[in-house]
Structure 1
Amino acid sequence: MNKIDAFHLKVIAIIAMFLNHVGHTFENVWNPPLWEFTYLTIGLLTFPIMAYLLVEGFFYTRSRWKYAGRLFLFGLISLFPFHYLFEFNWSFFNPINNIMFTLMLGVLMMMACEKVKNHFLQILVLIFFILASITSDWNLFGIPIIFGFYRNHGKPENTRWVLGIICLLMMYLTFPKEWTATAAVEWLSNLGILTVIPILAAYNGQRGYSPNWVKWGFYAFYPLHISLLLFIRILIFHY
């Protein structure tokens, strides 16, 4: 009997996200190949789980516009800490948007797909939103993962195929031009996305523990933890 509910999935995603971001924040301090492997492998759990829960929420939320609006709001709140934690060497006026914007675009993409039932038109919608998310976290891969889960909603057995295809695409597009230890570790760490398959296979489709503080806490954790990591890095390393 499957014993993992939505609350457990959120906890797993939050822990993996935190470890991922700790690795990214301090990758220049620790052994780079080790941290590349650790944070990319563990971190690759986070977005597919969030995408899966996003699709689940899309079909059960009372207002999809409010759903997208909450993601947009927390994306704005996260804008400054995300930029200065991960993209501090970029111009702020040429930013990489955080994961909340990717998820928001995923909701809008699913809303658009519901309006057009034709498969060809849905592919055009998919392409449009991939292009719209190209400067967001998980750029080329985020929207296709959400689309794959959306198209296979109610068919949990197909989750492995969605993630398998995405994994192959990631490995193809990130194939190293020159083989070094770091490049090899980073490339092989793409396989980490496959570890999501058994986790989602154990999902029982239940919400689990879900008071309001859990709902809003899940949103708030994102800007809070990246702000904390940014503060710690500035305090210790002055950048």
Structure 2
Amino acid sequence: MLKKGLTGFQIKLIALFLMIFDHVYYFFAFNDKVPLWFKWIGRSVAPIFIFMVVEGFIHTRNRTKYMTRLYIGSLVMTFGNQWITEWFQRNDNVALMANIFATLFLITVYLTIIEYLGKGIKERRIMPVVLGILGLVLPIALGIFMMMNLHIPGMIHAIFLLPTPMFVEGGPVFIALGILFYLTHDKKILQLILYALVSIALIPWQNFSLQGLFYDNFQWLMIGALPLLALYNGQRGKGMKYLFYVFYPVHIYGLYILSTLFV
């Protein structure tokens, strides 16, 4: 029975539409003809997909396959970014670094560890608790190690092959956001309140001004995703589970290649 509100599929379609605006600005802002509000509305996209990947992680029947798809997606983007920029070069400093798959994959890794840790605490078993805590710390420690040893041959490749909080798109903030969505999964009001507070916390309070709010640091505009998250009715909706996996790289590479014709 169809519930009121929006299904996961409908929310994803809206996010895909908004994502186009965000990436059009990123690749074509050089000509000063793309309005900045394209970037503003794009701030909601990543949080929406983080929310939906947490929902997918919770409800999927095979988490191993789910996580594997995300990791394969991150590898496709890693090698795709390298190859596309070699074949189609721009004359400015715009880099092709988009890879939200790595962020989403790392979120599912953390959720797996948190579940394992939670089970250990519930069962009062010391070893799972210790291993769980180590699992939470390891990606951070690995990222710090990579950051301190960038001079080592091959380390750059390791950064992209082994996602860590410091080197994925959105960094620790997006990872923490995924964990927040997971921990408040069955507490909708609390989830929305905490999401709003996280968004507000990203406002540049120290140098508060309209310039700072809308031109210098406007990641807080991800609060625009709040209505969509509130309208989510808990239903998956239509299938097409590979739509995002295909659309994301295709539209990014399409826009990038098109942009090289005008730079």
Q: Structure 2 regions of 5+ residues with no counterpart?
A: 123-128, 144-163
- What SS does the aligned partner of 1:28 have? helix
Aligned to 2:107: 106
- After TM superposition, the structure 1 = structure 2 runs for residues 210-225 of structure 1, keeping only pairs within 5 Å, are 210=239, 214-225=240-251
**How far apart are 1:227 and its partner, in Å?**
0.8
Q: Aligned match of 2:183 in 134, 151, 158?
A: 151
Q: Which residue number in structure 1 is paired with residue 50 of structure 2?
A: 51
Question: Post-superposition shift, 1:184?
Answer: 4.4
Shift of 1:163: 1.5
> Where does residue 202 of structure 1 map in the other structure?
231
Q: 1:108–1:190: structure 2 CA closer, same or farther, 3 Å change rule?
A: same
Q: Structure 1: which 5+ residue stretches go unaligned?
A: none
Using a 3 Å threshold, how does the CA distance of structure 1 residues 234 and 228 change in structure 2: closer, same or farther? same
Over aligned residue pairs, what C-alpha RMSD do you find? 3.2
- 1:105 Cα offset (Å): 0.4
Structure 1 residue 89: Cα displacement: 4.3
* Cα deviation code 1:156-207 (max 9, x no counterpart): 21222232232133225x9559x794x4423463332112111111111111
Q: Which amino acid aligns with 2:9?
A: F
Instruction: Describe the SS at the equivalent of 2:31.
Output: coil
Counterpart for residue 15 of structure 1? 17
Give the total of aligned pairs: 224
Task: Check conservation: 2:199, 2:222, Cα contact below 8 A.
Answer: yes
Could you tell me which amino acid in structure 2 is paired with residue 225 of structure 1? H
Name the residue aligned to 2:253.
227
Supply the AA of the counterpart residue of 1:9.
I
The CA deviation at 1:103 is 0.2
Residues 1:22 and 1:124: Cα distance change in structure 2 (over 3 Å): farther
**Alignment TM-score, normalising by the size of structure 2:** 0.73
Structure 1 residues 123 and 170: alpha-carbon distance in aligned structure 2, compared to 1, 3 A threshold: farther
Larger Rg: 2
Give the superposition deviation at 1:16: 1.2
Report the identity percentage: 27
TM-aligned CA distance change 1:9 to 1:61, over 3 Å: same
Q: What amino acid does structure 2 have at the position aligned with 1:161?
A: I
Which range moved further: 137-146 or 157-166? 157-166
Greater shift after overlay, 158-167 or 126-135? 126-135
Per the alignment, residue 134 of structure 1 pairs with 166
Alpha-carbon spacing, 1:167–1:52, altered in 2? closer, same or farther (3 Å): same
Give the drift of 1:79. Answer: 2.1
Q: Does the CA-based 8 Å contact 1:141-1:166 persist in structure 2?
A: no
In structure 1, how many angstroms separate the alpha carbons of the residues matched to 2:201 and 2:136?
16
Match of 2:219 in 1: 190
Query: Does residue 167 of structure 1 match 2:167?
Result: no
Alpha-carbon distance in structure 2 between the residues aligned to 1:147 and 1:57: 13
Residues 73 and 28 from structure 1, CA distance in 2 versus in 1: closer, same or farther, beyond 3 angstroms? same
Does 2:85 align with 1:70? no
In structure 2, give the amino acid aligned to 1:198: P
Residue by residue over 1:46-69, the C-alpha shift from the partner in whole angstroms, topping out at 9 and shown as x without a partner, is 111111111111111122121111
The one-letter code sitting in structure 2 at the alignment partner of 1:38 is F
Per the TM alignment, residue 15 of structure 1 is displaced from its structure 2 partner at its CA by 0.8
Q: 1:27 aligns with which of 26, 29, 34?
A: 29
Q: Distance in 1 between matches of 2:5 and 2:66?
A: 27
For residues 201 and 180 of structure 1, the distance between their equivalents in structure 2, rounded to whole angstroms, comes to: 28
Report what 2:116 is aligned to. Answer: 115
Query: CA–CA distance in 1 between the matches of 2:261 and 2:38?
Result: 24
Opposite residue 169 of structure 2, the aligned amino acid is D
**2: CA distance, partners of 1:231 / 1:171:** 34
